[in-house]
């Protein structure tokens, strides 16, 4: 929790009652070290409890979603205000507008407007991480979602209905708040992923032929939108499902003894694969979630496949002048490298020619 944005995300989760015991301890440690922040949190907490004490469940969910939207907006736009700091050595410090906005909206009774606008049409919301960037946001129910470069999620309303549904294009990691009566459903590429409370990663870029779902904890069911849950594949923790977007899923295709016992993927009948991931590694070290920690991993990728990742990661366009070069294969990772450093490293592994001009990179054979 080393920056203001993550602190306000943490405060929002605590206020919403969705924080884990570990998160509550983290916040307590931060507040002990910052008297000014402690005072603001105490005031927010008091007003929050007073304003929430008489609200119905639907209005509380709407209030929670408002905090989420304010923090997401402040984070995406980088807006902040200046407030004096009493500590002599620190001078003036940045306080994110999210805190001030939440305080003003709560204290003015803005959250109570939910009752007067109940007849209006639900509003469509969208969160996007453009190419060359990654983002973290809070959904209306307190669920945290990380978006990889070139990804977008959209949803309607404040999750006050029977289900909490989002539509994904690209890659996202969800840490879903558990609400037994309100399933969380991800729609992507004609496939539905249904959960209650869990943490999982979904990769579903339009230009790719498959959808990857990696489960870390909890339980998920994956099935085609036109099928019922009876035809779903249910994943266990530390399993990854690689499913062809046009796959026909039948329950008889998966059985308990067909699941692989090793980390090597096992091909199953039909157009999907279930693989075990190495649960002994920390999430920050795992291939599937490396992007959350600002690390681009690639294993056995053809140059054509890697080019798509590099385009999203660095916000560039890569053009091949030689079809054979597309079939070069690479293993490795990039973290702090610039695009120029990345291409220099690739060329040192496998010879080829390239030219970088602005945001466009031309790649050809070594003999050109």
CA dihedral 17, 168, 294, 297 (to 10 degrees): 130
Is the pLDDT score of 98 beyond 60? no
- Cβ atoms of 145 and 173 closer than 8 Å: yes
Residue range(s) in the chain whose domain bears CATH number 2.60.120.1440: 121-289
Binned at pLDDT 50, 70 and 90, residue 70 comes out as low
Largest CA distance in the chain: 75
Which stretch, 63-77, 190-204, 267-281, has highest mean pLDDT?
190-204
Is the pLDDT score of 47 beyond 70? no
Is the pLDDT score of 366 beyond 70? yes
- Cβ atoms of 261 and 231 closer than 8 Å: no
DSSP H helices, 273-362, are 303-314, 339-349
Q: Mean per-residue pLDDT for 209-225?
A: 91
Q: What is the pLDDT of residue 76?
A: 55
Is the pLDDT score of 160 beyond 70? yes
Binned at pLDDT 50, 70 and 90, residue 36 comes out as low
- Cβ atoms of 145 and 153 closer than 8 Å: yes
- Can you give the pTM of this predicted structure? 0.67
In 151-295 the beta strands, taken as DSSP E runs, fall at 151-156, 164-175, 184-188, 191-195, 199-204, 210-217, 220-224, 233-235, 239-244, 266-267, 272-276
pLDDT digits (tens, 9 = 90+) for 8-18: 667 777 877 77
Q: How far is CA 51 from CA 56, 60, 105, 107, 110, in A?
A: 11, 10, 11, 8, 10
Which residues, listed in sequence order, are joined to residue 102 by a DSSP beta bridge?
none
Q: What is the pLDDT of residue 108?
A: 40
Residues 6+ apart with CB under 8 A from 179: 141, 164, 196, 197
3-state secondary structure of 333: strand
Domain 295-364 bears CATH identifier 2.60.40.10 = no
Q: Mean per-residue pLDDT for 137-165?
A: 90
**What is the residue whose two structure tokens read 């920050």?**
284
Helix (H) or strand (E) holding 80: strand 80-84
3-state secondary structure of 216: strand
76/138 Cα distance (integer angstroms):
12
Q: Mean per-residue pLDDT for 199-214?
A: 93
Nearest to 101 by CA among 68, 148, 126: 68
Instruction: Report the mean per-residue pLDDT for the chain.
Output: 76
Nearest to 16 by CA among 142, 190, 121: 142
Q: Is 321 left (phi over 0), alpha (psi -120 to 50) or beta?
A: alpha
Residues 6+ apart with CB under 8 A from 54: none
Which residues, listed in sequence order, are joined to residue 145 by a DSSP beta bridge?
137, 174
Binned at pLDDT 50, 70 and 90, residue 252 comes out as very low
Residue range(s) in the chain whose domain bears CATH number 3.55.50.30: 295-364
DSSP H helices, the chain, are 4-15, 21-32, 35-52, 57-77, 97-107, 303-314, 339-349
Binned at pLDDT 50, 70 and 90, residue 104 comes out as very low
pLDDT digits (tens, 9 = 90+) for 324-346: 999 999 999 999 999 999 999 99
Helix (H) or strand (E) holding 146: strand 144-147
Q: What is the pLDDT of residue 239?
A: 94
Binned at pLDDT 50, 70 and 90, residue 53 comes out as low
pLDDT digits (tens, 9 = 90+) for 257-307: 333 333 333 333 347 889 998 888 887 889 999 999 999 999 999 999 999
Identify the CATH number of the domain defined by range 121-289. Answer: 2.60.120.1440
């Amino acid at each position: 929790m080393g920056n203001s944005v993550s602190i306000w995300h943490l405060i929002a989760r605590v206020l919403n009652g969705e924080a884990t015991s570990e998160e509550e301890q983290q916040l307590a440690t931060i507040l002990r070290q910052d008297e000014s922040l402690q005072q603001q949190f105490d005031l927010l907490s008091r007003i929050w409890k007073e304003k929430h004490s008489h609200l119905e469940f639907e209005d509380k969910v709407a209030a929670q979603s408002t905090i989420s939207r304010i923090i997401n907006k402040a984070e995406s736009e980088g807006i902040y205000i200046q407030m004096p700091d009493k500590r002599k050595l620190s001078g003036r410090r940045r306080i994110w507008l999210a805190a001030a906005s939440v305080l003003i909206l709560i204290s003015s009774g803005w959250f109570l407007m939910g009752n007067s606008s109940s007849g209006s049409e639900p509003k469509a919301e969208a969160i996007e991480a453009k190419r060359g960037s990654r983002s973290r946001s809070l959904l209306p129910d307190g669920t945290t979602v990380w978006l990889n470069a070139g990804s977008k999620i959209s949803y309607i309303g404040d999750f006050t209905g029977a289900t909490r549904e989002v539509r994904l294009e690209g890659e996202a990691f969800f840490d879903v708040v558990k609400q037994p009566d309100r399933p969380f459903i991800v729609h992507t590429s004609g496939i539905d992923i249904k959960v209650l409370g869990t943490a999982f990663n979904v990769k579903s870029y339009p230009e790719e032929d498959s959808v990857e779902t990696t489960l870390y904890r909890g339980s998920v069911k994956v099935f085609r939108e036109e099928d019922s849950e009876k035809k779903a594949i249910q994943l266990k923790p530390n399993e990854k499902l690689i499913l062809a977007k046009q796959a026909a899923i039948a329950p008889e295709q998966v059985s308990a003894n067909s699941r692989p016992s090793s980390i090597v993927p096992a091909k199953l009948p039909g157009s999907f694969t279930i693989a075990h991931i190495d649960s002994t590694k920390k999430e920050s070290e795992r291939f599937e979630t490396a992007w959350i920690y600002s690390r681009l991993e690639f294993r056995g990728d053809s140059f054509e496949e890697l080019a798509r990742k590099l385009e999203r990661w660095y916000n560039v366009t890569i053009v091949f002048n030689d079809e054979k070069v597309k079939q070069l294969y690479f293993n490795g990772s990039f973290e702090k490298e610039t695009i120029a450093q990345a291409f220099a490293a690739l060329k040192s592994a496998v010879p080829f020619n390239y030219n970088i001009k602005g945001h466009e990179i031309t790649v050809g054979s070594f003999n050109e």
